[in-house]
Amino acid sequence: MNEDFLNLIHNARQLKASLPILEPKKILVEEKYTDDILPFDLYRRTRQNIEKIADQINKSFYYAIYDGAAILMRRLIEMLLILAFKRIGQEDSIRGSGGNYLQLSEIINCAIQNRQLDLSRNAKDYFGIFKEKGDLSAHNPFYNCRKKDLALIQHKFRSLIEELFYKAGILE
């Protein structure tokens, strides 16, 4: 190797060794957000995975990450539908031939037609709204979800999630 290069490496190692070791400071960040989309008292003390998604929805809305909130809202609906089918022992009806879950649109169609789930008329009507919002936010490069888009349908989301909590056995 070139002697200048070896000297450069040696000098860099000496410089590194002479630097003081700094301990990283622990910064505690107090999380601040509201329950504008899903009320805390609806989902607290349910299941950890549901609480995390619900918190993320509320945080996304609070911090103006509206596309993220819409995608997470869609995800929570999908999770709860799967849990509802598991609860009634019909999980296989929403799995494809390879054993994977069907697309959300197909799961929704199965749920709407399933007499054992016995979904309300409102729930059946609301699925499309949230699937569309989540799909637009996830897949349309020309769409940006806005606060008003979600604020106008918040009450429908809360109503749908609460019903799905009961259907999935999360609430009794």
- Average pLDDT of 106-118? 97
CA distance 62 to 94: 34
Residue 28 has a pLDDT of 66
Is the per-residue pLDDT at 154 higher than 70?
yes
Is the per-residue pLDDT at 1 higher than 70?
no
pLDDT category at 29 given cuts 50, 70, 90 is: low
Could you tell me which residue, 29 or 130, shows the higher pLDDT?
Answer: 130
pTM: 0.82
Reading the block at residue 61, the tokens are 């809305």
* Tokens 């309300």, located at residue: 120
Which stretch of 5-9, 100-104, 160-164 has the lowest confidence by average pLDDT? 5-9
Residue 11 has a pLDDT of 80
- Average pLDDT of 123-145? 97
Topology of 36-167 in CATH?
Four Helix Bundle (Hemerythrin (Met), subunit A) (1.20.120)
Could you tell me which residue, 12 or 99, shows the higher pLDDT?
Answer: 99
**DSSP H helical segments within 46-139, as ranges?**
48-62, 66-87, 104-113, 121-139
Reading the block at residue 110, the tokens are 């199965």
SS3 101: strand
Residue 20 has a pLDDT of 76
HSE on the CB side for 60, CA within 13 Å?
22
CA distance 94 to 106: 8
- Average pLDDT of 51-77? 97
Residue 7 has a pLDDT of 80
Is the per-residue pLDDT at 9 higher than 70?
yes
Residue of 110, 56, 51 whose CA lies nearest to 86: 110
CA distance 92 to 95: 5
Q: Identify the burial level of 66 via C-beta atoms within 10 angstroms of its C-beta, where 0-12 means exposed, 13-18 middle and 19 or more buried.
A: buried
User: For residues 38 and 157, is the Cβ–Cβ distance under 8 A?
Assistant: yes
Q: Which amino acid is at 9?
A: I
Is the per-residue pLDDT at 4 higher than 60?
yes
User: For residues 107 and 92, is the Cβ–Cβ distance under 8 A?
Assistant: no
